[in-house]
Amino acid sequence: MCACICVLFYSSISIGSLYKGHYRALSVCSGTCTVFVLKTHPLFPLMKSTVTTSTQAPDEFDRNVPRICGVCGDKATGFHFNAMTCEGCKGFFRRSMKRKATFTCPFNGNCTITKDNRRHCQISVLKDLIQRRKEEEAQKEAQKPRLTEEQRKIINTLVEAHHKTYDDSYSDFYRFRPPVREGPVTRSASRAASLHSLSDASSDSFSHSPESGDSKMNLSSLLMMYQDQGASSPESPDENGSRLSMLPHLADLVSYSIQKVIGFAKMIPGFRELTAEDQIALLKSSVIEVIMLRSNQSFNLEDMSWSCGGPEFKYCVNDVTKAGHTLELLEPLVKFQVGLKKLNLHEEEHVLLMAICLLSPDRPGVQDHARVEALQDQLSELLQAYIRVHHSGGHLLYAKMIQKLADLRSLNEEHSKQYRSLSFQPEHSTQLTPLVLEVFGGQVT
């Protein structure tokens, strides 16, 4: 057992408390570890008990209990070739397999093998060994964790929802106001040159029409009727001369991404059964976090950029500083994306994490906390079950994924602060879409 002990402290029943500092410690060592959770959120039923990575098999006999050979009844020394056998039967089986020997039974296959007569009929001993091995393998296979039919159905629903609302060809990006990367270099942009990163990638279909600037699409209307047509915004008067030359393009990208997250949320089992007020509250407070999770799909570890199709839609930190964001947001965002990418999550784990993030009962404005928490707990248990089935050594993976949700809370707060600042400046707020202003900034006037 490794001397390192990983201790996770949770002192609140909400995930939101993690971002407020109650997530005290998570140390990960390279050896085998024991994880103790002293007080847990209902989100962590798997962690309520001690998790160990001992090499002892779960079905191994207690050392104080006598072990009997399953073939001849002699004293067994352990599992050999997946069967509980004595040293004699183990050696015989090994020799028989190496020599590929053939035997015949002098008793027409009706003999009973004991430790006294096991040398008299070798074929019967060999058959018993093979049969015992098959039985032990079948028993181990039956004991492996499996997902229920209902759990598989929920996962398939979430994966399908993600595919329907995320087009990895990014063909709709051509409908946004074009990216303009020229312009004066700001202080944040010069600092960003050494960092390389950013972008909120999403997809499906987006329609940007400067002529329809008067029509305002808000979150409520999108919830009532999820449409493929995007929110409109006024056309930029002079993008090339603007200090924030990338703001119009990224505003369209974020507005488009918000709509796709809404479409994804509406397909999460149980989300539609919530009240409209709770749906809006959950989306307004979590949408940027889900966008950041989704954008990890296009994040490139090699050059720390988001590649969303063509070269004009490859974003780095310098691009985003030209949309008004500072390194107070971008530096931790890049660290988050790198850490998430290195987890090498399955697509199923990724979509489950997005759904868990969205269904957080501690979001501001949520009324029916119990109902939202029940939905989140169901998805949390499903994520843990999936990890048990598909990651034999992934005892800490779930904890690392939950830590990412805590990181997102801090990113969310900084992002909202910076967008709110933009919305209060008339020369910049006119470049934002009404939907972006409603979710992240002030109301459109």
List phi, psi (to 5°) of 315: -110, 140
With the CA atoms of 420, 425, 426 and 430 taken in that order, what torsion angle do they form, in degrees rounded to the nearest 10?
A: -40
In a domain, 59, yes or no: no
Higher pLDDT, 291 or 140: 291
What is residue 223's predicted lDDT score, i.e. its pLDDT?
56
Q: Which two tokens stand for residue 355?
A: 């759904």
- Residue 62: left (phi > 0), alpha (psi -120 to 50), or beta? beta
Q: Is the whole model's pTM more than 0.85, yes or no?
A: no
Q: Is the pLDDT of residue 226 over 60?
A: no
Task: Clarify whether residues 93 and 161 are in a common domain.
Answer: no
Query: What number of other Cβ atoms are within 10 A of residue 55's Cβ?
Result: 8
Contact 248, 177 (CB under 8 A): yes
Q: Is the pLDDT of residue 300 over 80?
A: yes
In a domain, 35, yes or no: no
> Tens of pLDDT along 249-291?
999 999 999 999 999 999 999 999 999 999 999 999 999 999 9
Q: Which two tokens stand for residue 413?
A: 């707060």
Contact 247, 186 (CB under 8 A): no
Task: Clarify whether residues 253 and 304 are in a common domain.
Answer: yes
Task: Report d(CA 76, CA 129) in Å as an integer.
Answer: 13
Q: Quote the number of domains for the chain.
A: 2
Q: What is the CA radius of gyration of the chain?
A: 29
What is residue 53's predicted lDDT score, i.e. its pLDDT?
33
**Which segment, 104-118, 121-135, 136-150, is predicted with the most confidence on average?**
136-150
In the chain, the percentage of residues whose pLDDT exceeds 90 is 44
Write the CATH number for 196. 1.10.565.10
Domain boundary at 143, 170, 186, which? 143
What is residue 101's predicted lDDT score, i.e. its pLDDT?
59
Q: Is the pLDDT of residue 305 over 80?
A: yes
Q: Is the pLDDT of residue 372 over 70?
A: yes
In a domain, 223, yes or no: yes
Average pLDDT, integer, range 96-100: 63
Q: Is the pLDDT of residue 2 over 50?
A: no
What is residue 281's predicted lDDT score, i.e. its pLDDT?
95
Task: Clarify whether residues 114 and 259 are in a common domain.
Answer: no
Higher pLDDT, 382 or 62: 382
What is residue 1's predicted lDDT score, i.e. its pLDDT?
41
In a domain, 45, yes or no: no
Binned at pLDDT 50, 70 and 90, residue 387 comes out as very high
Binned at pLDDT 50, 70 and 90, residue 315 comes out as very high
What is the extent of the structural domain holding 280?
150-440
Which of 250, 257, 320, 306 lies closest to 283, judged by CA? 257
Task: Clarify whether residues 222 and 121 are in a common domain.
Answer: no
Domain boundary at 92, 117, 143, which? 143
Q: Is the pLDDT of residue 14 over 70?
A: no
In a domain, 377, yes or no: yes
Q: Is the pLDDT of residue 352 over 50?
A: yes
> Tens of pLDDT along 174-199?
999 999 987 554 444 444 444 443 33
List phi, psi (to 5°) of 344: 50, 50
Residue 75: helix, strand or coil by DSSP? Answer: strand
What is residue 141's predicted lDDT score, i.e. its pLDDT?
63
Contact 201, 178 (CB under 8 A): no
Residue 311 DSSP one-character state? G
Q: What is the mean pLDDT of the chain?
A: 74
Task: Clarify whether residues 215 and 322 are in a common domain.
Answer: yes
With the CA atoms of 369, 375, 378 and 380 taken in that order, what torsion angle do they form, in degrees rounded to the nearest 10?
A: -70
Task: Report d(CA 164, CA 271) in Å as an integer.
Answer: 17
Q: Is the pLDDT of residue 322 over 50?
A: yes
Q: Is the pLDDT of residue 360 over 90?
A: yes
Average pLDDT, integer, range 143-155: 88
Task: Clarify whether residues 139 and 154 are in a common domain.
Answer: no
**Which segment, 89-103, 323-337, 431-445, is predicted with the most confidence on average?**
323-337
What is residue 333's predicted lDDT score, i.e. its pLDDT?
96
Task: Clarify whether residues 135 and 174 are in a common domain.
Answer: no
Task: Clarify whether residues 262 and 115 are in a common domain.
Answer: no
Lowest pLDDT segment from 315-319, 363-367, 377-381, 426-430: 426-430
Higher pLDDT, 72 or 338: 338
Lowest pLDDT segment from 127-136, 300-309, 395-404: 127-136
**Which segment, 62-76, 352-366, 383-397, is predicted with the most confidence on average?**
352-366
Q: Is the pLDDT of residue 201 over 70?
A: no
Task: Clarify whether residues 178 and 309 are in a common domain.
Answer: yes
What is residue 424's predicted lDDT score, i.e. its pLDDT?
82
In the chain, the percentage of residues whose pLDDT exceeds 70 is 58
